A and B are shown apart, each in its own frame.
Chain A
């Protein structure tokens, strides 16, 4: 009797949240899967089922490939810069936990991560500006000629990677700091008694022990970089948002197909590709983690 009432309470209490969750998460996720196999051009009424036709067209669409290529370059570029740098910075901050400036280090490294995306991107847009930007002024000191960072296809990718890494770094540092705080002390004591230097014990004790954290941060960084949009929107868009020499990324291409070309079904198939990439990355993380757990 009492048990039954507790069960009723639990269900009644969770029901509103569950209803919301269903309506704003599960329903649209189901819908995107459904739309991806239908042809729906916003203007027409009927949505015929066309199987994998959207995907077939997508894989022959050079704009999609350009978007996928750019997005992948950005994501892995951010990964390669962020992870090693975050590990080093976190280790140094952790080493100086007792320093008077410990709070300053944490705050300054983290501020780019919380600063609003658009103003931050604007700051970088100015830095990269070909005529007025301090970056070219700085490079000029070394005799390097001014580059048009935001108009050259390769350099604008570099600019986006720099901006995204600058934002992602703080998050990775915080996660590494948590990881470092959870490492067992005894190992470092033993290493110290054996005469290991600080750098040695970092290289041979901390880094291997932090592997699960590295894996986690890498996947989070990759996944969020695959969803890059605002940074590109601000950094690599011309006047009136016209695609002069724009860096096309997946989310941009998807939104353009849905809301500029009114091809919702087609855009949905692009979303499904994005989802597949994210799922693969997550699956890789879990597999590697399980392997590690099995061995140790």
Chain B
């Protein structure tokens, strides 16, 4: 099942041994490759704990000789790093809630109710989904400005209230995993449409919504261009913007930068490792558009 793409004929003992050898070397290669992929981040975290002398020593070390917390305390004193992280977190959490709500409702309606007007709506969403955010963020900026919401959480949120892909993902799931008969039976039993949505549809969509939640959260957490133009006061920065502007300062040294980066990286990477299954499911869903 798992190895038909690369395996060779396992007819004799000799070739079986050879196959095992091949598998072992593939394992070794993949382990090495994986380590190289995360090496830049590991070194960044290591740098966060190095003393200034060690940071400039050749060759760079992977494990600090005299681990120090100086960089971390310095950066927490110099910058409102925790405030920026809170901004990012609040932005990502609210965006996730908004995207889940809009995607669940729209996905369900577009998946299960067949009217010509809805088909047109679906086509419009499909057509605009291709347009990258960077293309229309300038007019969106002026819309936020006209509401007086620049430099606020709500202004940030306006760019990330809906996600076309989320609507498609839920619609796809509704079509494939919720049988019409189930809904009809509930209607015959006298259930109202709202009741059906909340007590039949939503529970069946739990895993799809879980995957979408992880995607939506990371999308907002790593957003850059939009927060850069919308949140321009030191107190309203998101963590990505705060860090990017912090690193352009003259006096900032590598130790502090690495410390700040490590503080930002560790929670999001940990969250990813915990939610990997959901995340992969959601990302995989993006490739299944037919």
Contacts and interface: CB of A to CB of B under 8 A. Distances in A.
Contacts of B5: 91, 94-95, 180, 183, 188, 198, 201-202, 205-206
Interface in B99-122: 102, 105-106, 108-110, 113, 115, 117-118, 121
B130 A282 contact: yes
B47 A13 contact: no
B135 A27 contact: no
Interface stretch (B71-79, B172-180, B205-213, B238-246): B238-246
A239 B30 contact: no
A179 B287 contact: yes
Given A97-B2, A111-B37, A230 B225 contact: yes
Given A213-B287, A230-B240, A271-B138, A202 B6 contact: yes
Contacts of A192: 4, 7-9
A7 to B, nearest CB: 6
Interface stretch (A58-66, A76-84, A124-132): A124-132
A29 B121 CA distance: 16
A32 B261 contact: no
A264 interface: yes
B134 A18 contact: no
A251 B243 contact: no
A120 B34 contact: no
A151 to B, nearest CB: 15
Interface centre among A25, A175, A278 (most CB of B within 10 A): A25
A274 B258 contact: no
Contact of A111 (B9, B41, B134, B284): B41
B41 A120 contact: yes
A99 interface: yes
B248 A241 contact: yes
B154 to A, nearest CB: 12
Given A14-B105, A28-B143, A29-B135, A92 B124 contact: no
Nearest to B244: A118
Interface in B186-232: 193-194, 197, 218, 221-222, 224-225, 228-229
B268 A26 contact: no
A250 B55 CA distance: 35
A137 B6 CA distance: 38
B149 interface: no
Interface centre among B159, B225, B257 (most CB of A within 10 A): B225
Given A166-B37, A175-B286, A282-B130, A201 B30 contact: no
29 contacts: A10-B113, A21-B102, A24-B140, A29-B131, A29-B136, A31-B139, A32-B136, A89-B30, A94-B6, A96-B23, A107-B273, A108-B37, A111-B272, A112-B40, A114-B222, A118-B247, A118-B264, A120-B41, A122-B247, A132-B60, A174-B284, A192-B9, A199-B6, A202-B5, A230-B240, A239-B248, A272-B135, A275-B132, A282-B130
Interface of B: 1-9, 22-23, 26-27, 29-31, 33-35, 37-38, 40-41, 43-44, 47, 55-56, 58-60, 102, 105-106, 108-110, 113, 115, 117-118, 121, 124-125, 128, 130-140, 142-143, 158-159, 161-162, 164, 193-194, 197, 218, 221-222, 224-225, 228-229, 239-241, 243-245, 247-250, 254, 257-258, 260-262, 264-265, 268-269, 272-273, 276, 279-280, 283-284, 286-288
Given A201-B6, A255-B225, 16 more contacts: A10-B118, A25-B128, A32-B135, A96-B23, A112-B38, A115-B269, A124-B40, A126-B254, A127-B43, A166-B37, A195-B9, A217-B287, A229-B134, A239-B249, A258-B138, A279-B130
